[in-house]
Structure 1
Amino acid sequence: MKDKLKILVENAKQGDKKSLELLLIEIKDLIYNLSLKMLLFPEDAKDATQEILIKVVTHLSTFKYESKFKTWVYRVATNFLKTHKGKKAMEFAMPFSDYADLIDLGQSETIRYTNNEGELTLLEEEVKVSCTQGLLLCLNEADRMVYILSEILDYNSIEGSEILEITPENFRKKLSRARTKIRNFLTNKCGLANPENPCRCNKKIDFLIAEKIIDPKNLRFAQLTYRSIDMVKKIKHLEKSVALYRSTPDLPAPTTILNEIVSTLNYR
């Protein structure tokens, strides 16, 4: 039996508008989460997702079934994201040394913003995810993409090299370089990755709110029913630097994306 995606692709290539819309629904979250990991800021990720979805639609006729459709989608997405610099991501990106200085700034033993336990729980999670995802921006685009594909999305060097259209050896070389930089930083700075370090997540809440790096009224990552901070503490079979990233759940793409794509392409 043909898989669902293959049927949708075949029908969409033949001009079936409903199949095309269903196909976009199947892949929009995949593209959004890859964009979010590359660009950190939801505004940038939303814009990138829309651009990538349009590229998927306009280049769908070039898909020749030589690879899995999702592999092809990732290839389209990574080709775009390797050269796309989101506005806010570009402003925030910095060298590892500057990021280390930022981590050390503005620590406080008390939290002035709120005493509400539930709100503090969400804010601490927001700081944790924002910090670790922001760290990825210290890598150049090529190394960042390799790190995301391998360490976060769990693609091996054969699969990852197929997506990025590079050799497996080159993929492994880039991964080794990126992995060493991320691991060394987290080992030296993060209390979750290395218990010998103090955990700064709750100590940074007031500072990051004041600097408008996090918005307590519009949290980007924290979810009411899930705390990746707690999950990391329980994970034993992965090194902590990897666990920090894999513990963070995928987020649904904004509901407006599909409507805007369909409207732009006049498929209704």
Structure 2
Amino acid sequence: MKNNLTKLVKKANAGDKQSLELVILEINDLIYNLSLKMLLFPEDAKDATQEILIKVITHLSTFHYQSQFTTWVYRIATNYLITYKGKKSKEFAMPFKEYAVLIDSGQSDTVSYAKNAGELALLEEEVKVSCTQGLLLCLNSSDRLVYILAEILEFSSKEGAAILTITPDNFRKKLSRSRQKIRNFLTNKCGLVNSENPCRCHKKIDFLTHQKVINPNNLRFAQFTKRSIDLVDQIGDLEKAIAIYRATPAIPAPETIMKTIKETILIT
């Protein structure tokens, strides 16, 4: 696929619009999932993805084939996301101490919004993904990007440093700092990471629904994640704090993104 993608990029740069469309289809989900991990809210991630795709398209001729195309795409995406403040993401972001208060608030053994085991499983999954992804917003944008690239997307320090245009040593230092903050928080607060913690995903369903953090009638994550709560214990010796994130599968980008890009760039 790498060679095929490079060929498509060359054809796109030569003016082949069909190849350009195929290139965008190849990187659409990649950019959306990075944006979603950075911004939590699909609405913000969708807007960011569209802007990043436009940047990729309008700067495609500057790609000189000296690195993998996807590395170049990630560099454009991270340059955009490091300063981008989505409306909902900005409102939700908070320090770790405040997030701890949110986690400790409103725990209940009853769930008013689930009528059967299937609905309960979906709502638990929605809470798990919303809660753990929301935790990433407690990190500053630079440290958050490093954590996502290294721990979730599994880039090496050399690869991650190349994407962020920093030194591998600086990348490792940022990763160590971010990893420690996330690990400490999850170990102290998350029942999936540490069974001695009182918080379990089902105990937060009613509270987060009342707070409008999740919407039982419009789930943002659960329909795509295939019950990643159960996958946490199946990822070998990987530490639980990392397993929490890697257990969540990629989520497809909304079809409307491609429609918008085609209308604004590919057809006009």
Interval of TM-score (by shorter of Structure 1 and Structure 2): over 0.9
- Name 1:165's counterpart in structure 2: 165
Residue pair 2:225, 2:251 contacting (<8 A) in 1 also = no
Q: CA deviation at 1:224?
A: 6.8
Residue pair 2:123, 2:216 contacting (<8 A) in 1 also = yes
Q: CA deviation at 1:66?
A: 1.0
- Name 1:116's counterpart in structure 2: 116
Task: Decide whether aligned partners of structure 1 residues 51 and 225 sit closer, same or farther in structure 2, where only a CA change above 3 A counts.
Answer: closer
Please tell me the residue identity of whatever aligns with 1:215.
N
Distance (whole Å) between structure 2 residues aligned to residue 189 and residue 210 of structure 1: 21
Task: Decide whether aligned partners of structure 1 residues 106 and 244 sit closer, same or farther in structure 2, where only a CA change above 3 A counts.
Answer: same
- Name 2:41's counterpart in structure 1: 41
- What stretches of structure 1 move > 6 A for 4+ residues in a row? none
Please tell me the residue identity of whatever aligns with 2:184.
N
- Name 2:178's counterpart in structure 1: 178
Report 1:187-202 matches (<5 A).
187-202=187-202
Q: CA deviation at 1:266?
A: 4.6
Distance (whole Å) between structure 2 residues aligned to residue 266 and residue 178 of structure 1: 39
Deviations 1:112-161 (A, max 9, x none): 22231111110000000000000000000000000000000000100000
- Name 1:25's counterpart in structure 2: 25
Distance (whole Å) between structure 2 residues aligned to residue 63 and residue 224 of structure 1: 33
- Name 2:72's counterpart in structure 1: 72
Residue pair 2:225, 2:248 contacting (<8 A) in 1 also = no
Distance (whole Å) between structure 2 residues aligned to residue 196 and residue 188 of structure 1: 9
Unmatched segments (≥5 aa) in structure 1: none
Q: CA deviation at 1:267?
A: 2.4
Unmatched segments (≥5 aa) in structure 2: none
Distance (whole Å) between structure 2 residues aligned to residue 40 and residue 106 of structure 1: 21
Please tell me the residue identity of whatever aligns with 1:148.
I
SS at match of 1:220: coil
Distance (whole Å) between structure 1 residues aligned to residue 193 and residue 174 of structure 2: 22
Distance (whole Å) between structure 2 residues aligned to residue 71 and residue 2 of structure 1: 11
- Name 1:209's counterpart in structure 2: 209
Distance (whole Å) between structure 2 residues aligned to residue 86 and residue 266 of structure 1: 26
Task: Decide whether aligned partners of structure 1 residues 100 and 159 sit closer, same or farther in structure 2, where only a CA change above 3 A counts.
Answer: same
Please tell me the residue identity of whatever aligns with 2:94.
M
Distance (whole Å) between structure 1 residues aligned to residue 22 and residue 34 of structure 2: 20
Kindly report the root-mean-square deviation, in angstroms, between the aligned alpha carbons of the 2 structures. 1.3
Q: CA deviation at 1:236?
A: 2.8
- Name 1:128's counterpart in structure 2: 128
Q: CA deviation at 1:235?
A: 2.4
Please tell me the residue identity of whatever aligns with 1:182.
I
Residue-pair matches, total = 268
- Give me the TM-score of the superposition, normalised by structure 1: 0.97
- Name 2:247's counterpart in structure 1: 247
Distance (whole Å) between structure 2 residues aligned to residue 235 and residue 197 of structure 1: 21
SS at match of 2:148: helix
Distance (whole Å) between structure 2 residues aligned to residue 8 and residue 234 of structure 1: 38
Please tell me the residue identity of whatever aligns with 1:25.
L
Distance (whole Å) between structure 1 residues aligned to residue 51 and residue 12 of structure 2: 19
Please tell me the residue identity of whatever aligns with 1:92.
F
Percent identical pairs in the alignment equals 70
Q: CA deviation at 1:109?
A: 1.2
